[in-house]
Amino acid sequence: MATVFLDQSGLELRADGAALKLYYHGDYQRSLPLRLLDRIILQGDVRLSARVLTAITEHGGSVVFLSKRNSNRVAIVLGGRHADARIRLTQYKLTEDSAFVLEYSRRLIKAKIREQLRFMKRMLTKRPELRKPLRDAIVTLTERSLFVVHAGGLPTVLGAEGAASAAYFRAYVRLYPPSLDFKGRNRRPPRDPVNAVLSLTYTLLHYEAVSVSHAMGLDPYVGYLHTPSYGRESMACDLIEPLRPQADAWVLGLFRDRVLRPDHFRKDKGACLLDKSGRARFYHAYEQFADIQRRRLRRLTRLIVRSIRSSHAGGMQDAGFENALS
């Protein structure tokens, strides 16, 4: 199955039988077989009709709309959901089960910290000149991982995660050259190239998590680590937590390998934005990275669905998470 990124003004999609046809300012460009389309990501002034959306979703595809200016997600159109409503009914009931919520959250955050530790240890072998900040991060992450195991409530788990992430990002910023002006995480809007790419990557991963949770019978809006909140797909937020360190490592690689450079960004009213050439390079690289993350998301979501069906978070054993995220 394929992903299509459309990011050019003047493009139009039209439905034609079992295919979508792409036009540019009225001139035919190419045909996209619907049976091979898994997702379409649109950014900017791309024209399409309700007939096109219907054709995509009837064939099991989905569409995500991104803002032209800052790459924020505007909307997602998904196909039919999983037919077993009992999964969602149990999912809702378990929001009131404090023991399930606590064990689920422990497992998820422990997995995230484990991925952060792996990344920091890899960097320690590659960047010996940063031994001090990387070692400091590793020590804190190790301590917080042990603390999570014995946490007595969700606030304690969240506090440990916050302390771990603070230590992690103190080391992470040191991996970038000063020329990128990356001093820490900021968003809405991102103010430097690294934050611009991190935000876009997290946005697309969140969309992937919404899509897979929807397809496997979960309600994307009902999570446990991220409790239900108005307008937030909390389950999708849960799902991408242990994937964030892998996204961070991938973004670092984009700058390290000069796939993205400072000249691929522009400033607009305080926001740092990828320009058109930068977005083209980003999306080209993203698909290979995303293919691996989609497989991890599917494995992780299946594990969570099994735990919800059995109403027992203890079924999400460490070995299960290791396999899901490998």
Domain CATH number, residue 245: 1.20.120.920
The pTM for the full model equals 0.86
| 221-279 pLDDT tens trace | 999 999 888 888 999 999 999 999 999 999 999 999 999 999 999 888 888 888 888 98
CA gap 155, 147 in Å, rounded: 12
Do 90 and 173 share a domain, yes or no? yes
Identify whether residues 33 and 69 lie together within a single domain.
yes
- Same-domain pairing of 218 and 305: yes
Return the pLDDT at 70: 59
Comparing 249 with 32, the larger pLDDT belongs to 249
Residues 281 and 316 occupy one common structural domain: yes
Q: Structural domain of residue 108, as residue ranges? A: 85-325
Give residue 72's pLDDT.
Answer: 62
For residue 155, is pLDDT > 70?
A: yes
Q: Are residues 141 and 23 in the same domain?
A: no
Long-range CB contact pairs, 75-78, < 8 A, 24+: 76/207, 76/210, 76/211, 77/53, 78/210, 78/211, 78/214, 78/215
- Out of 77, 95, 125, a domain closes at 77
Does one domain contain both 124 and 34?
A: no
CATH number, position 57: 3.100.10.20
- Name the CA radius of gyration of the chain, rounded: 21
What is the C-alpha separation between 29 and 85, in angstroms, rounded?
42
pLDDT tens readout for residues 194-230: 999 999 999 999 989 998 998 899 999 999 999 888 8
